[in-house]
Chains A and B, each alone.
Chain A
């Protein structure tokens, strides 16, 4: 009798409990904090599902960067009066909506329990392709992301560009071109500065490491990029560095580097390997790492840009 099932159940209860807290908390800020904790614990669930890559992504993006984003927003909105968003719905509506949500969740549970057995899987095909289009990458997730379903990944990078532009576009007209508002307070606390000075270099190294091993072990451009992004954000919070101006050419180049290189590589596919988004088997791994390197850069720049928000014309 292993102790693991009990841990699993405890973890599940904790995760659901924090989710309930996130929904039920009266205070906006408390709800946000609950969500961040929830995200961290969820990463553990992913570990238990044999999904370390997802766990890393969830911890870094789903909980970490999203956490900063939401906490910042919650802090700015928290000062505002309650009830400004409109009245809370009545009890009857609450009961009705709750019943419907319960029904949907119930249906989902029922369906999950009758998922076909044996489960259909593309794992055999992915395994078979590992030495072909998979380029001998030890991490099948990376092979899926950069080779088999590279098209999804490239589009997702385009989505990130659009999101950045969308966030910027929310700013004021006259502020265009300027930098977003600083992430930290005018006189950062010593502890913040200390943390940034200590953590950022180490974190950056770890980020690059995670990216580098991603070809064969859990990790990759997403996770590494998210870590780099986090380090940059810490540095910005400590005012060691400031958010860049949105019209900075280097920033724009960095943002598009990933998708641009991806797109060019995809377009070159017919010349290299006879098909768009195909890579010649002999050079597949270096090409993939090359693409990933630029994606790392783009992610590392895009996530902080998304958190920093639209350009801000006012000087603090």
Chain B
């Protein structure tokens, strides 16, 4: 089994695990971790694409690798924004739930007619 296939399997596993966590973990920080897992899984897919594209004296295709670097920075920025929101939400309300019902004010309720 060539290394890129192994990396592909790891990438797919990370995507699957991350999806599971992102969907099911109620805590937003856990969701964020799961998102980062999916992210690194996706980056690995880019990585194997780059590795398979080795040609012309390069042992990798530089374009997908460059995209991964951009992607990692963007993912970090997203994480930072999410963490700031989570912490602020926690500080303001003492809760971090994403359940829409929990944040419905009484006057938001549907018209009972």
A and B directly contacting (CB within 8 A): yes
A122 within 8 A of B: yes
Please count the residue pairs between chain A and chain B whose beta carbons lie under 8 angstroms apart in the complex: 282
Shortest distance between the CB of B72 and any CB in chain A (Å): 5
Stretch at the interface among A17-25, A201-209, A259-267: A17-25
From B8, B45, B79, A70 is in contact (CB under 8 Å) with B79
Other than A49-B51, A97-B23, give 14 A-B pairs with Cβ distance below 8 A.
A16-B14, A20-B17, A28-B29, A31-B30, A66-B79, A73-B29, A105-B15, A115-B48, A119-B52, A123-B54, A126-B63, A163-B80, A309-B87, A310-B88
Would you call the interface of chain B mostly helix, strand, loop, or mixed? helix
Q: A141-B66, A159-B77 are in contact. Are A108 and B61 (CB under 8 A)?
A: no
Q: A16-B13, A109-B8, A145-B70 are in contact. Are A115 and B88 (CB under 8 A)?
A: no
**How many residues of chain B get a CB closer than 8 Å to chain A's CBs?**
84
Q: Which residues of A contact B74 (CB under 8 A)?
A: 156, 159
- Decide: B34 and A12 in contact? CB cutoff 8 A: no
Chain B 81-98 per-residue mask, 1 if CB under 8 angstroms from chain A, else 0: 101111110100011111
Q: Which residues of A contact B77 (CB under 8 A)?
A: 159-160, 162-163, 306
Shortest distance between the CB of A280 and any CB in chain B (Å): 22
From A19, A80, A303, A306, B94 is in contact (CB under 8 Å) with A80
A85-B37 Cα distance, complex, nearest whole Å: 20
A100-B19 Cα distance, complex, nearest whole Å: 9
Q: Which of B30-72 contact A (CB under 8 A)?
A: 30, 32-34, 36-37, 40, 43-45, 47-63, 65-70, 72
A120-B23 Cα distance, complex, nearest whole Å: 34
Q: A163-B78, A163-B80 are in contact. Are A5 and B1 (CB under 8 A)?
A: yes
- Decide: A32 and B33 in contact? CB cutoff 8 A: yes
A126-B47 Cα distance, complex, nearest whole Å: 17
Chain A, interface residues (CB within 8 Å), range: 35 or more
Nearest CB in chain A to that of B1: its residue: A5
From B16, B52, B60, B63, A115 is in contact (CB under 8 Å) with B52
Q: Which residues of B contact A15 (CB under 8 A)?
A: 10, 14
Q: Which residues of A contact B37 (CB under 8 A)?
A: 19, 22-23, 35, 38
The 10 A-B pairs at the shortest CB distance, nearest first, are namely A105-B16, A121-B53, A306-B80, A163-B77, A119-B52, A140-B62, A144-B66, A112-B8, A101-B19, A85-B27
Stretch at the interface among A50-58, A234-242, A268-276, A283-291: A50-58
A15-B9 Cα distance, complex, nearest whole Å: 11
- Decide: A121 and B28 in contact? CB cutoff 8 A: no
Q: Which residues of B contact A46 (CB under 8 A)?
A: 47
- Decide: B3 and A8 in contact? CB cutoff 8 A: yes
Q: Which residues of B contact A109 (CB under 8 A)?
A: 8-9, 12
From A22, A80, A126, B58 is in contact (CB under 8 Å) with A126
